[in-house]
């Protein structure tokens, strides 16, 4: 059996809807002979006549009526398809494939990416979370547009990429109300012997905290160590210990986890980067991440720059 030629079917369908070959020709902006020829080819494919001549007019045969019912449904579905595509905003969104180093606090990631969702031209955000080494390998293969990290790319990697500083800020220590109240007055000395929840040792924040505690001769009791910053905060929310987080998300942490501030320090600095294979950020969404992060850190008294 031959494949149906939908162009031929469309010409026949138009003739049926318009009532004549002449009227259909005007609708299709074609000469009548062309329309008649296309209908004839459809008749050859179907093996039967679609019209019978009655005087000077064409009347559809039983086959013609049968084919028209199918054609009407086919082209009606086609219209529905096009209308449904028009209503799908994702179809026209610019993709932004961003890698997120798994130790980054989720609240910071959300803050850094929020401006992307407010761009006039819609963006489809595709986030991948993994170890920095794995993400940088994907960046080198152009599978990612950029990587968000809490540390610059190491010189020991063979990936050619550039570190763009988004900003830096001090850290705030949090605890539930009963614990925060007993530690606040003599902070940071009060952390000596206090229950503490810490990020894992491979993180920039943990390394800095260890150095800071040593410099002050503070020896907290480490209750737990966590890779996932959200899990760490969940334990802090239940009163299991004090935890530290970037000061730029202080108000959000207090609101979401119902904890209080124990104290703050600028001796420990959290720094954030977007890493790209471009010296100058060309992807419009990545450029906005950099620009808005600089503005946010500057507004909150934190330091931000692009290098």
Q: Look-up: residue for tokens 């790319």?
A: 153
> Helices 6-18 and 32-46, interaxial angle, to 10°?
120
**Ordered DSSP codes for 234-288:** HHHHTTS-EEEEEGGGHHHHHHHH--EEEEEEEEEEEEEEEEES-SS--SHHHHH
For residue 303, the 8-state DSSP code is: B
In the chain, where does DSSP find H-type helix? 6-18, 21-28, 32-46, 62-86, 106-113, 132-140, 177-183, 204-216, 229-237, 250-257, 284-299
Report the alpha-carbon angle 107-116-120, nearest 5. Answer: 145
The candidate with the shortest Cα–Cα distance to 235, out of 273, 280, 290, 179, is: 179
Multiple choice CATH, 93-307, 3.40.50.300, 3.10.129.10, 3.40.109.10, 3.40.190.290: 3.40.190.290
Work out the average pLDDT over 47-65: 89
Q: What is the dihedral of CA 40, 44, 49, 53, to 10 degrees?
A: 30
Residue ranges matching CATH 3.40.190.290 in the chain: 93-307
Tens digits of residue pLDDT in 133-149 = 899 889 888 899 999 99
pLDDT score, position 213:
97
Work out the average pLDDT over 189-198: 97
Question: For the stretch 46-66, what's the b/e string if a residue is b when 16 or more beta carbons lie within 10 angstroms of its beta carbon?
Answer: beeebbeeeeeebebeebbee
Residue ranges matching CATH 1.10.10.10 in the chain: 6-86
Multiple choice CATH, 6-86, 3.30.1180.20, 1.10.10.10, 3.60.70.12, 3.30.300.20: 1.10.10.10
For residue 269, the 8-state DSSP code is: E
Q: Look-up: residue for tokens 């992807």?
A: 283
pLDDT score, position 89:
56
pLDDT score, position 127:
92
pLDDT score, position 277:
86
- Confirm whether pTM is higher than 0.75: no
The candidate with the shortest Cα–Cα distance to 203, out of 252, 245, 173, 160, is: 245
């Amino acid at each position: 059996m031959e494949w149906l030629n939908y162009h031929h079917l469309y010409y026949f369908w138009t003739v049926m809807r318009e009532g004549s070959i002449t009227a259909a020709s005007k609708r299709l902006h074609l000469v009548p002979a062309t329309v008649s020829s296309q209908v004839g080819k459809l008749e050859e494919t179907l093996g039967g006549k679609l019209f019978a001549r009655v005087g000077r007019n064409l009347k559809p045969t039983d086959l013609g009526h049968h084919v028209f019912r199918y054609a009407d449904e086919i082209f009606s579905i086609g219209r529905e398809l096009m209308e449904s595509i028009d209503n799908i905003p994702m179809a026209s969104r610019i993709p932004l494939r961003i890698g997120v180093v798994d130790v980054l606090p989720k609240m910071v990631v959300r803050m850094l990416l929020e401006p992307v969702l407010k761009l006039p031209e819609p963006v489809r955000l595709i986030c991948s979370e993994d170890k920095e080494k794995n993400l940088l390998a994907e960046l080198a293969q152009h599978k990612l547009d950029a990587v968000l990290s809490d540390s610059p790319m190491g010189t020991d990697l063979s990936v050619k990429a550039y570190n763009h500083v988004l900003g830096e800020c001090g850290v705030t220590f949090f605890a539930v109300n009963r614990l925060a109240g007993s530690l606040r007055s003599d902070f940071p000395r009060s952390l000596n012997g206090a229950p503490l929840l810490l990020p894992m040792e491979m993180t920039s924040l943990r390394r800095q905290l260890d150095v800071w505690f040593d410099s002050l001769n503070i020896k907290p009791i480490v209750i737990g160590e966590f890779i996932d910053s959200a899990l760490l905060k969940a334990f802090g929310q239940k009163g299991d210990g004090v935890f530290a987080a970037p000061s730029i998300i202080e108000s959000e942490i207090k609101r979401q986890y119902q904890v209080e501030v124990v104290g703050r320090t600028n001796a420990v600095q959290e720094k954030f980067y977007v890493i790209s294979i471009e010296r100058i950020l060309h992807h419009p969404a990545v450029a906005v991440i950099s620009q808005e992060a600089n503005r946010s850190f500057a507004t909150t008294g934190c330091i931000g720059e692009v290098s």
